[in-house]
Structure 1
Amino acid sequence: MTADRKHNYWKGPVQLRGRQIPEKTTDERLLEPSEGADWVHSDPWRVLRIQSEFVEGFGALAELGPAVSVFGSARTRPEDPEYALAEEVAQNITAAGYAVITGGGPGVMEAANKGAHESGGISVGLGIELPFEQGLNEYVDLGVNFRYFFARKTMFVKYSEGFIVLPGGFGTMDELFESLTLVQTKKVKRFPIVLVGTEFWGGLVDWIRHSLAGRGTISEHDLDLVHLTDDPAEAVDVVVKANRSRRRQEMAAAADAAARAGAAGPE
């Protein structure tokens, strides 16, 4: 590992410094090819550790209430326009009565947590063990650190009512396309996904339209799974309206089921 070994290093809930910082992350060791039969003895213990991450995440977030996740680059600087944009997005989320969830790191994540924290909302950070980041940013009010990406991703989807995605790199793309896949395959239903930044995202959306939908590798209606805008207020409004519609549909379906059960009478 080439990172400065003097910084704070978070390995799940454990903080390490100096020579205690490992050469490899927990995810990296998990994904390494197995050699010999040692994995038979070590992997069952890994399963228990993975289980504990889900238990800790569910326990910490179960009573959070409605929330929206904000994604974007960890490399965004406070003087960059995307930083102020993320703050404004988070302020609008808070004003709409939602908590803000981020990956808890620097850049866009820090900006969104700052916007939520300073506007009196709930600021949540779901951190991950990485060799080059130093734990949760200072604006996180409720933080959970994870060793495993897949456990962390589950929390983002389970406890969010929508994703708002600002310009970012591979990690941002990963969250975006995984969420699109979950909605497309109906693992998650009626889950709004908003891209903020038409200049940044426009080329990608055009490529999806022409190279994917145009060649039939996705359906034409899959293009409706994302909403593109430059307006922070519009981004949040899309999420809010989608969830109001979802709740109305759920209430109507429940009332219809109750009416049918009443009409059928006792068995």
Structure 2
Amino acid sequence: MSDAPVLLAMEGDVAVVRLNRPDRLNALTSDMLDLLAATLRQAAADGARAVLLTGEGKGFCAGADLAAGMAIRDSGESLRQHFHPVIMAMADLPIPIVAAVNGPAAGAGASIALAADIVVMARSAYLLLAFANIGLVPDAGATWLVGKSAGRAKLLEMALLGERLPADEALDAGLVTRVADDVVLMETAHGLAAKLAAMPTVALGLIRKQVAAALAGTLAETLEIEAAHQSIASRTEDCREAVAAFLAKRTPQFKGR
């Protein structure tokens, strides 16, 4: 296996992206973050129709690797230069992302996991916002991601107390999509990614953007975005194929166009 900190492998139409510093629980360095953002963009540019994001070894991602030079003094600028581009690359992709959280997802690692569209956690995994434990504040979008999904009370509990949130509790809080037994985590997550990759790709990309806009917008603004997106989706080859398949009483064959 390559010693690159981020790995990309195409499995059919699914781009499998792996954080690859297992000896450090995939803790993040600036180079690793830059490569992750570039890898996600490359996957979409190369024609992937879904991304499966996971970590090598026993952890998903332990957050920033302070021992590897992720400086505290200038952390705000580090966030702008290295962390924010990853979260925005995930938000801007025209294809859906499934995260397979195979172990601890802490700090910015929790943000990266929760920035996916579908989050599947191993039963033994946990989320952790430990920032306050070292005199810092949540970053990499954690405040928005947790607050929008679980609400103010759960966000404050996680951010102020800095305690582990087990997978089942994360599911109950609405932070993740599914919990799977450890031995079937990757099978479950890959199955979801493969299902998404076989669906109408343009429509899925528009849905991603539409949901993000709705979370920040008004009803009137959302109605207009829905109308604009429907105009685009209704002209796609996949939409025409779906209608033809419905009329012919057959299963549609989507091509992502």
User: TM-score, normalization: structure 2?
Assistant: 0.35
Of structures 1 and 2, the larger Rg is shown by 1
User: TM-score, normalization: structure 1?
Assistant: 0.34
